[in-house]
């Protein structure tokens, strides 16, 4: 295995991880920002008020995007396993 192949495999894995994490975290961040603005405007400082909407958004995001994430991850793992002979040889 050449260094270029190792770097390419690492780059693909890092990109896949970043994409999957961003898809889950960005909606939660947006909802957290909206709830925080609401709390600042109404001066309600209840910690559970910000937790439940973010949890629900994360759950909905996982339900909607979950099949794509699993399919993409499985395709990546399958491509890794099928490329083992080329990487070694």
pLDDT (average), residues 3-7? 85
Rounded to the nearest 10 degrees, the angle between the axes of helix 3-42 and helix 47-82 is 170
pLDDT band at 3 (very low <50, low <70, confident <90, very high): confident
10-68: per-residue pLDDT in tens? 999 999 999 999 999 999 999 999 998 998 898 888 777 888 999 999 999 999 999 99
Supply the pLDDT for residue 23. Answer: 94
The predicted pLDDT at position 5 comes to 84
Please calculate the CA angle 43-46-52 and round it to the nearest 5 degrees. 125
pLDDT of amino acid 86: 83
Domain range list for the chain: 3-88
Tokens 């495999």 belong to 9
């Amino acid at each position: 295995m050449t260094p270029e192949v190792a770097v390419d495999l690492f780059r693909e894995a890092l990109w896949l991880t970043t994409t999957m994490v961003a898809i889950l975290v960005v909606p939660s961040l947006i909802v957290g920002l909206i709830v925080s603005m609401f709390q600042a405007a109404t001066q309600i400082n209840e910690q559970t008020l910000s937790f439940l909407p973010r949890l629900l958004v994360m759950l909905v995001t996982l339900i909607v995007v979950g099949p794509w994430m699993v399919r993409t991850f499985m395709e990546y793992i399958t491509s890794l396993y099928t490329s083992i002979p080329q990487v070694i040889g």
